[in-house]
């Protein structure tokens, strides 16, 4: 089977939209077992943590965020076993949009799959800031799941 994509990177944040993006990416990848699927979770410590916490308490906050991300990816790893593709999971720290772009470029992604921000009313016309930035800056196609 011919596929346009050789590597799909899915940005996963364990939200409902993140789960939907993961399912979509898994479905796409499972169409051709030669497609590799990387699942990326980006941990970003809220800026307010730096203002409300002392320098000594930021590290435990960081560790807590990393632990939650790693736990979420353990569930993802089990789900990934249901497809025949080569799969990997990663946790990165930093600005989510930039981390997604950097990871995708460094790992030669041919497609990025991610969720949009679920807002109501007029705001539905606009993507979330992370997905908008990734769409604007990516060198490969980006598939937005709504």
Residue 17: partners with Cβ closer than 8 Å, 6 or more residues away: 115, 116, 117, 118, 145, 146
Kindly report the number of other CB atoms within 10 A of residue 108's CB atom.
11
Confidence (pTM): 0.85
**Is the pLDDT higher at 98 or at 70?**
98
Residue 56: partners with Cβ closer than 8 Å, 6 or more residues away: none
- Helices 16-30 and 55-80 cross at an angle (nearest 10°) of 40
Percent of the chain with pLDDT over 70: 83
Whose tokens are 């937005």? That residue is 144
Domains and CATH numbers, the chain: 7-145 (3.40.50.620)
Is pLDDT of 77 > 80?
yes
pLDDT in tens, 17-49: 999 999 999 999 999 999 999 999 999 876 554
pLDDT grade for 123, boundaries at 50, 70 and 90: very low
Tell me what pLDDT residue 118 has. 42
């Amino acid at each position: 089977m011919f596929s346009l994509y050789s590597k799909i990177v899915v940005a996963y944040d364990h939200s409902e939209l993140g789960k939907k993006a993961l399912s979509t990416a898994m479905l796409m990848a499972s169409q051709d077992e030669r497609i590799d699927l990387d699942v990326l979770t980006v941990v970003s410590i809220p800026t307010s943590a730096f203002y409300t916490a002392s320098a000594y308490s930021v590290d435990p906050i960081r560790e807590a965020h990393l632990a939650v991300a790693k736990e979420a990816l353990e569930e993802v790893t089990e789900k990934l076993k249901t497809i025949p593709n080569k799969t990997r999971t990663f946790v990165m720290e930093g600005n989510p949009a930039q981390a997604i772009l950097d990871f995708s470029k460094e790992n030669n992604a041919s497609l990025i799959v991610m969720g949009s921000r679920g807002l109501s009313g007029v705001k539905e016309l606009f993507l979330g800031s992370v997905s908008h930035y990734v769409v604007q800056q990516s060198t490969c196609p980006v598939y937005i799941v709504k």
